[in-house]
């Protein structure tokens, strides 16, 4: 038994050297959890559908006793004092927590390059990005180092890297999974999401972490279905919406081609295809980058050098401590967003930016609600392009922001959304399926169907 785990660990560390997925590995904790799970298995005492499953966590998620830095120097050396609710649920379900995974600093980014430590590489081509911000979570699963992982998704950070790495990435409805114990980026948009190579394991992980938590005021108290036993149902008769006004020019040819193939397959299987338009959806990126930066500028105010992590030692006064600490230990992109956030919240610009963005957000939500009166799910590509080369977009932030075009509307409204692989000539391409509020079961079932039909 011992050798099995050691062998696995050595193989994992060898691969890890190439890919750079982990910030820290909890060798002892994982080994203990492994033996305990083996013991339960031998004694027919398996606790849950994830008992013995090797899972790791994006470094935004607190796991008691393990370092947590959210990809930032400012939190270097900080040890999590408690478990996030999702972590305590995974532990009591018998999952093996392998460690903490690489990401963009404070989850701000789409390529995993925005951090001072290292870039996670895409297992499909080491010179390519793994996506972001949950870069390590996606790359480690795609390389089969771990079975599943958790990430956070504020504007696409689970679905987009899943698409780039050819795996499944799922963001549940806002309120479905407790956010207690995650480091906040933009609280009205943040949601914990799940990665695995297949829909069934995503469903298994989800059913073990979802559900009401009194420690999170935004958590909703409704029953959690047993998602993993609800897969494989007929798709005939399902109404699938295709967004007509949402296939931008930047969409690459191959993505479009694979998307069209899925649409054809759906048609052949008597799924009802409905063309829909969602007015204002093209404003989602602008709305997102106003609201996310506004919320981030307030959430990140707590990193002042006194309460957590690093402090810039200086003889100056308190204000100097704040200034020097934040200047020295926060990265460029994080600073850019704090500045943007403060700007849109400033009294002079508040009405023009923040309030306007909130009102467009409401309009987009109303339009989605109208669309969902006609359809059960909506589909579109997950990303306009495939994984690009490391360094390609690093100094062109606007271009990088535009890559979130398909994923951010889902966060603005709080809907469930999944990315499932639909094709791969050289690098993988994902399909996004968006569901009604709290209808995760429908989204997972259709994603499972897409996954199975690809094997034919
Ligand atoms: N790429 C988006 C951003 O940089 C989304 C990030 C996320 O979902 N955490 O804000």
Residue 251: strand, helix, or coil: coil
Quote the CA–CA distance of 179 and 416 in Å, as a whole number. 15
Quote the CA–CA distance of 449 and 190 in Å, as a whole number. 28
Q: What ranges do the domains of the chain cover?
A: 2-230
pLDDT digits (tens, 9 = 90+) for 410-426: 999 999 999 999 999 99
Give the pairing of strands 377-381 and 428-435.
antiparallel
Predicted pLDDT of residue 143? 96
Quote the CA–CA distance of 158 and 171 in Å, as a whole number. 7
Q: 82: CA distance to ligand 1 center in Å?
A: 25
133 is known as an active-site residue: yes
58 is known as an active-site residue: yes
pLDDT digits (tens, 9 = 90+) for 298-316: 999 999 988 888 888 877 7
407 lines ligand 1 (CB under 6 A): no
Quote the CA–CA distance of 285 and 426 in Å, as a whole number. 28
Give just the sign of the alpha carbon dihedral 246, 247, 251, 254.
positive
DSSP one-letter string for 269-286: TT-EEEEE--TTGGGHHH
Quote the CA–CA distance of 138 and 123 in Å, as a whole number. 10
- Containing 366, the helix (H) or strand (E) segment is helix 356-374
Q: 393: CA distance to ligand 1 center in Å?
A: 15
Structure confidence at residue 318 as a pLDDT band (50, 70, 90): confident
Q: Average per-residue pLDDT in the chain?
A: 95
CA distances from 178 to 47, 168, 218, 393 (A): 21, 21, 8, 33
Phi and psi (nearest 5°) for 298? -85, -40
Kindly provide the residue ranges of all beta strands, DSSP E only, lying in 116-211, ordered along the sequence.
121-122, 125-129, 148-152, 168-171, 192-196
pTM: 0.97
Q: 445: CA distance to ligand 1 center in Å?
A: 26
Q: Does residue 163 contact residue 430 with C-beta atoms inside 8 Å?
A: yes
Instruction: Indicate the top mutation candidate among 106, 156, 185, 406 to test ligand 1's pocket, ranked by most ligand atoms within 8 A of CB.
Output: 156
pLDDT digits (tens, 9 = 90+) for 194-244: 999 999 999 999 999 999 999 999 999 999 999 999 999 999 999 999 987
Could you tell me how far CA 216 lies from the centroid of its own chain? 19
**In this model, does residue 175 exceed pLDDT 80?**
yes
CATH homologous superfamily for the domain 2-230: Amidase signature (AS) domain (3.90.1300.10)
pLDDT digits (tens, 9 = 90+) for 432-448: 999 999 999 999 999 99
Question: Which whole number is the average pLDDT over 180-202?
Answer: 98
Give just the sign of the alpha carbon dihedral 161, 163, 167, 173.
positive
Structure confidence at residue 246 as a pLDDT band (50, 70, 90): confident
Peptide bond before residue 158 is cis, with ω within 30 degrees of 0: no
pLDDT above 70 covers a percentage of the chain that reads 99
pLDDT digits (tens, 9 = 90+) for 42-79: 999 999 999 999 999 999 999 999 999 999 999 999 99
Predicted pLDDT of residue 391? 96
Q: 155: CA distance to ligand 1 center in Å?
A: 5
Question: Which whole number is the average pLDDT over 392-405?
Answer: 90
And the tokens for 174? 């806002």
pLDDT digits (tens, 9 = 90+) for 325-362: 999 999 999 999 999 999 999 999 999 999 999 999 99
Instruction: Indicate the top mutation candidate among 102, 131, 133 to test ligand 1's pocket, ranked by most ligand atoms within 8 A of CB.
Output: 133
**Residue/partner pairs of 285-288 with CB below 8 Å, 24 or more apart:** 285/401, 285/402, 285/404, 285/405, 285/408, 286/357, 287/357, 287/360, 287/361, 287/364, 287/408, 287/412, 288/155, 288/189, 288/404, 288/408, 288/411, 288/412
**In this model, does residue 3 exceed pLDDT 70?**
no
DSSP one-letter string for 115-138: SSS--PEETTEEEEE--SSSHHHH
Quote the CA–CA distance of 443 and 439 in Å, as a whole number. 7
pLDDT above 90 covers a percentage of the chain that reads 88
pLDDT digits (tens, 9 = 90+) for 260-288: 999 999 999 999 999 999 999 999 999 99
- Containing 450, the helix (H) or strand (E) segment is helix 440-455
Predicted pLDDT of residue 1? 46
- Containing 397, the helix (H) or strand (E) segment is helix 397-402
88 is known as an active-site residue: no
Query: Residue 130, CB half-sphere, CA atoms under 13 Å: how many?
Result: 33
Question: Which whole number is the average pLDDT over 93-113?
Answer: 98
404 lines ligand 1 (CB under 6 A): yes
Radius of gyration of the CA atoms of the chain, in A: 21
Predicted pLDDT of residue 239? 98
- Geometric angle at alpha carbon 422, from 418 and 424, rounded to 5°: 130
């Amino acid at each position: 038994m011992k050798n099995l785990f050691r062998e696995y660990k050595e193989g994992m560390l060898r691969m890890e050297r190439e890919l750079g997925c982990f910030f820290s590995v909890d060798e002892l904790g994982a080994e203990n959890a492994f033996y305990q799970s083996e013991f339960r298995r031998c004694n027919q005492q398996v606790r849950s559908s994830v008992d013995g499953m090797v899972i790791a966590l994006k470094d935004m998620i607190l796991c008691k006793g393990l370092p947590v830095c959210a990809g930032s120097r400012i939190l270097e050396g900080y040890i999590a004092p408690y478990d996030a609710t999702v972590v305590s649920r995974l532990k009591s379900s018998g999952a093996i927590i392998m460690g903490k995974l690489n990401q963009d600093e404070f989850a701000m980014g789409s390529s995993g390059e925005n951090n001072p430590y290292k870039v996670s590489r895409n297992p499909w081509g080491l010179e390519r990005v793994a996506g972001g911000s949950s870069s390590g979570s996606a790359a480690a699963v795609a390389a089969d180092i771990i079975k599943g992982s958790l990430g956070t998704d504020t504007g696409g950070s689970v679905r987009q890297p899943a698409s780039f790495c050819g795996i499944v990435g799922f963001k549940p409805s806002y309120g479905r999974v407790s956010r207690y114990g995650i480091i906040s980026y933009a609280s009205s948009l943040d949601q914990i999401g799940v990665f695995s190579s297949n829909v069934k394991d995503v469903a298994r992980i989800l059913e073990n972490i979802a559900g009401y938590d009194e420690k999170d005021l935004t958590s909703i108290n409704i029953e959690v279905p047993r998602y993993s036993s609800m897969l494989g149902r007929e798709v005939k008769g399902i109404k699938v919406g295709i967004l007509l006004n949402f296939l931008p020019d930047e969409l690459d040819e191959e993505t479009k081609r694979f998307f069209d193939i899925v649409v054809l397959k759906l048609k052949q299987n008597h799924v009802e295809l409905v063309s829909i338009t969602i007015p204002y959806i093209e404003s989602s990126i602008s709305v997102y980058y106003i609201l996310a930066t506004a919320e981030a500028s307030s959430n990140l105010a707590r990193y002042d050098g006194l309460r957590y992590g690093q402090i810039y030692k200086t003889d100056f006064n308190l204000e100097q401590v704040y200034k020097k600490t934040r200047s020295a230990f926060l990265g460029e992109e994080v600073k850019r967003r704090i500045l943007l956030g403060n700007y849109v919240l400033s009294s002079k610009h508040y009405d023009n930016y923040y309030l306007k963005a909130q009102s467009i957000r409401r309009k987009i939500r109303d339009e989605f609600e109208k669309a969902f009166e006609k359809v059960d799910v909506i589909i579109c590509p997950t990303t306009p392009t495939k994984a690009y080369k490391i360094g390609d977009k690093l100094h062109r932030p606007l271009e990088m922001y535009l890559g979130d075009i398909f994923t951010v509307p889902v966060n603005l409204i709080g809907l469930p959304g999944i990315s499932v692989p639909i094709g791969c000539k050289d690098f993988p391409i994902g399909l996004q399926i968006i569901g009604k509020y709290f209808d995760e079961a429908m989204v997972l079932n259709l994603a499972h169907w897409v996954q199975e039909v690809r094997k034919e």
